[in-house]
Amino acid sequence: MDQSLTSHAGLLAWVEQSAHLCKPERVHWCTGSDDEAQWLIATMVAAKDLIPFNNDDWPNCYLHRSNPNDVARVEDRTFICSQSKEDAGPTNNWMAPDEAKKLLYGLFEGCMEGRTMYVVPYQMGPVGSPFSKVGVEITDSAYVALSMRIMTRMGTVALETLGTDGAFVPGLHSTAELDPEKRYICHFPEERLILSINSGYGGNALLGKKCFALRIASAIARDEGWLAEHMLILELEDPQGEKLYFTGAFPSACGKTNLAMLESILPGWTVRTVGDDIAWLRIGDDGRLWAVNPEAGFFGVAPGTSEKTNPSAMETIRSNTLFTNVARTDGGRPWWEGMGPASKWMTDWRGNHRPGQDLEGGKFAQPNSRFTAPAKQCPTISPHWEDPQGVPISGILFGGRRNDTMPLVLEANSWEHGVFLGATMASQTTAAAGGAQGVLRRDPMAMLPFCGYHMGDYFAHWLELGKRIPNPPKIFHVNWFQKDDDGVFLWPGYGENLRPLLWMRERILGEGKAIETPIGTVPTPDALNLDGLSLADGVMERLLEVNHDRWAQECDAIAEHFEKFGDKLPTALSDELAALRKRVG
């Protein structure tokens, strides 16, 4: 799009300043059109940045390989550049704004010489929605431009929303030299500015995703009185056609997408997808909490995704999908661990051609390999997923990977207790972020890497919002990942997760058999609909067990977790911990 098609003076000035700094050979304004997408694809295929898959089986699907040093979010290189270090809080890396700009603008100087600068206007949220916000990413990556077309409402539609004087979140990105020692992802919450350099990986480079939709948006939400959350949104329809909507916060690679696309295993019940990763929530005129999915696509973890674990995802990604760091079979098809049997020969994510049974050469797909696919292709997508007002939320789920301690499903006693459950949730780490895997860490509301300000203030914002919701959702905690003494999962998970969801629905409607425990309300062992599911004797009781000794240890671990927030920890949460200690005994 020619820049003369927008008369937004602030945007034009910022693009000119960025071009002067980065010195690109040419500037391309993205429209989001089909012709533009095909041009971007052809450009990348010619440069060997994209490799086509077999078009008969996987039409319009392509493979992108990132640099092996650039395969995940880099939390140690991600900074909140608030004016005050105190505002960033103890769970964020902080850099002074002036220092960050001096450092990064020095790295941006001339970094696009000989390259194309893509100006990517994009909208987060449905067209015509009062929830929606506009961002503009400037990047030298055609892969980013193409991905943003899938993940957001990109191009002309965003500029139309922006108008001549609308507010937008500027983001400047360059792959530069892909030098991990000079890799920085910096967020300036007061200025609503994002600067990212030396990474091409999704979470670091697709600035509409975690950078805008969570880190910057969480600060905007605090200031404007709403919530920007790392949450799925799902629709549950009963056999009579009545619908309830849930949001759910889970750390990355802990089953959010699978739950959002859950395939019903019980006749008459239907689960539909509104969103799989991010939710923006506001109090509606009717006193309920309403949510929109600000994204237009899915950026999902490929390994473990299969026809068995998530058939809806497999159907979604069958066409018009960008795959990153997966393997490629000799037949030109994508492959990853957990997808199915390996082919005789495959090319792994690093480009090495080797026999499919060669396990010595390491995994064929990078453990954090991804698919980027349009949400509208999902067979379970809700007809309400783009409703401008969003959908009304009746239940909020918190969950993570815990081998023990947390029961299968737990209902909070109150909004404050629910915030306590969210603020203390823990999970074994996965490949979605750099660092060791399988380590138990506290990840409050699954927002530890994504909250754009002090998490103590974030907890207080949740608590304050609860006081302003006349009809608040019920809050639950779930844990699909308990194991027996031999390390085998006790609960089958995947589609079977519908069963705890139905119990949560009953509780929302004032029904459902339950018992009060020191940690909250859990189902009785016979409360869940287990029709067609065979569990060994005693397994259901173990899945719902509340072990007092473990919970005494959990209280100590929570106290240690709370210490880091100092005097910013809301009194309501320290009171909840004291009450829990007393109940556990």
Measured N-to-C along each axis, helices 415-424 and 571-584 cross at an angle, to the nearest 10 degrees, of 90
Q: Is 254 annotated as a binding residue?
A: yes
pLDDT (0 to 100) of residue 3: 59
Structure confidence by residue, pLDDT tens digits, 173-198: 999 999 999 999 999 999 999 999 99
Number of Cβ within 10 Å of residue 17's Cβ equals 13
What confidence tier does 239 reach under pLDDT thresholds 50, 70, 90? Answer: very high
Q: Which whole number is the average pLDDT over 80-96?
A: 98
Q: Is 201 annotated as a binding residue?
A: yes
Q: Is 257 annotated as a binding residue?
A: yes
Residues of the chain with CATH 3.90.228.20: 228-294+383-584
Q: Over 549-560, what HEC string results?
A: HHHHHHHHHHHH
Q: Is 537 annotated as a binding residue?
A: no
**Catalytic residue (choose from 81, 254, 378, 555):** 254
Residue 261 and residue 310 in contact, taking contact as beta carbons nearer than 8 Å = yes
Q: How far apart are CA 216 and CA 198, in angstroms?
A: 20
Residues of the chain with CATH 2.170.8.10: 299-377
Examine the residue annotation and report whether 254 is marked as an active-site residue of this protein: yes
Residues of the chain with CATH 3.40.449.10: 3-49+73-224
Class of domain 228-294+383-584: alpha beta
Q: How far apart are CA 94 and CA 8, in angstroms?
A: 32
pLDDT (0 to 100) of residue 252: 73
Q: Is 401 annotated as a binding residue?
A: yes
Task: Assign 179 to helix, strand or coil.
Answer: coil
Q: Is 496 annotated as a binding residue?
A: yes
- What is the percentage of the chain residues whose pLDDT exceeds 70? 98
Just give the CATH number of 3-49+73-224.
3.40.449.10
Residue 260 and residue 498 in contact, taking contact as beta carbons nearer than 8 Å = no
Going by the DSSP 8-state scheme, the letter that residue 485 receives in this structure is T
Q: Is 49 annotated as a binding residue?
A: no
Q: Is 81 annotated as a binding residue?
A: no
CA-based Rg of the chain, rounded to a whole angstrom? 23
Nearest Cα to Cα of residue 128 among 158, 154, 90? 158
Distance of CA 93 to the CA centre of its chain: 20
Structure confidence by residue, pLDDT tens digits, 356-407: 999 899 999 999 999 999 999 999 999 999 999 999 999 999 999 999 999 9
Tokens of 186: 């910096």
Token look-up 């844990």 returns 479
Structure confidence by residue, pLDDT tens digits, 453-467: 999 999 999 999 999
474-478, strands of its sheet edge to edge: 270-275, 231-237, 243-249, 395-399, 474-478, 409-411, 520-523, 514-517
What confidence tier does 475 reach under pLDDT thresholds 50, 70, 90? Answer: very high
pLDDT (0 to 100) of residue 255: 82
Distance of CA 46 to the CA centre of its chain: 32
Q: Is 579 annotated as a binding residue?
A: no
Mean pLDDT estimate for the chain: 96
Assess if CATH 2.170.8.10 describes domain 299-377: yes
Q: What is the CA angle 280-78-465, rounded to 5?
A: 30
Phi then psi for 417, rounded to 5 degrees? -65, -35
Say if residue 434's pLDDT is above 80: no
Distance of CA 473 to the CA centre of its chain: 21
Tokens of 548: 């007092």
Say if residue 1's pLDDT is above 50: no
Task: Assign 397 to helix, strand or coil.
Answer: strand
Q: Is 69 annotated as a binding residue?
A: no
Q: How far apart are CA 585 and CA 565, in angstroms?
A: 25
